Amino acid sequence: MRADLARRLGDLDLRTTDASILVLVGANPGITQSYLCKMLEIQRANMTPLIARLDVRGLIVRAVADGRSQGLALTDAGSDLAATALSAMYAHEEYLLSLIPDEQRPHIMPLLSSIWRE
Amino acid sequence: MRADLARRLGDLDLRTTDASILVLVGANPGITQSYLCKMLEIQRANMTPLIARLDVRGLIVRAVADGRSQGLALTDAGSDLAATALSAMYAHEEYLLSLIPDEQRPHIMPLLSSIWRE
DNA sequence: TATTGTTATACTCTATAACTATA
DNA sequence: TATAGTTATAGAGTATAACAATA
């Protein structure tokens, strides 16, 4: 399942984490790196090169929030790519669901929800 | 789910891959590294240090099969640890199943089977 | 020629500690 | 004193290329 998503996002030159960041920043403009770290459970030290790479690619901009923190936002190119990445994520989910026989399909989400985070 | 299994096996000083190797060698005495690589989809080059570490720990022995290949087998200590690791794997599965409400539980395996490898 | 196991190497992901500059 | 971001570093997983010994 992870490989299928990675392949779809790889076609956009994105890793899974890159895509998550783009979509989250798109939905939360002005978000800080620290808050992104909490949402994605990534160490601060490891977020730095991730953001730097998206910045270099012209997908994200950093604006000074206070002296310590930077509010992140998508560029137009970043916004376009985030939309494409989100479509790829939905296509991934649709693909997985399509593998499940019709009559069983309604059961999968409640089942997975009962395992998630507990 | 992976973290739960990793934690349980970590208590035995085993990584997930170590445990898979021990259980497979236990079930297939005389198996070669190359065949293990095919079963676990691991590169030959990466199998070398994995086997070496299990060897150093006295869990596995290598016997010359032909001039190129070595048949692997468990030592007594390896056999004991493989059994404990297998129990941990079953406990992991039981734990996950226990999170699913009784009436939904019979649906999970057929559902996952329809996604697996297709 | 092909296969087994090895070595060397490189890239990614993840984790910790220490530093700076701010609050 | 705590927080945001950075740098440096180390461990683990994974990938490729090349080699020696053997089939």
List, for residues B65-96, the tens digit of each pLDDT value. Answer: 999 999 999 999 999 999 999 999 999 999 99
Residue A118's pLDDT is 46
The band of A45, judged by pLDDT with boundaries at 50, 70 and 90, is very high
- The alpha helices in B1-118, defined as continuous H runs, are 2-10, 16-27, 33-40, 44-56, 76-98, 105-115
Calculate mean pLDDT across residues A1-21. Answer: 95
Contact B1 A110 (CB under 8 A): no
Nearest CB among B99, B100, B111 relative to A100 is that of B111
Query: What's the CA gap between A70 and A61, in Å, rounded?
Result: 9
Query: What's the CA gap between A12 and A36, in Å, rounded?
Result: 21
**pLDDT-above-90 percentage for chain B:** 90
* B104 to chain A: closest CA residue: A111
Is strand C within 7 Å of residue B51 (CB)?
yes
What's the gap in Å between the CA of B106 and the closest CA on chain A?
10
* pTM of structure: 0.91
Does the pLDDT value for residue B11 go beyond 70? yes
What's the CA–C1' distance between A115 and D1, in Å? 40
pLDDT digit string, tens, across residues A65-93: 999 999 999 999 999 999 999 999 999 99
HSE-up of A92 (CA within 13 Å, CB side)? 18
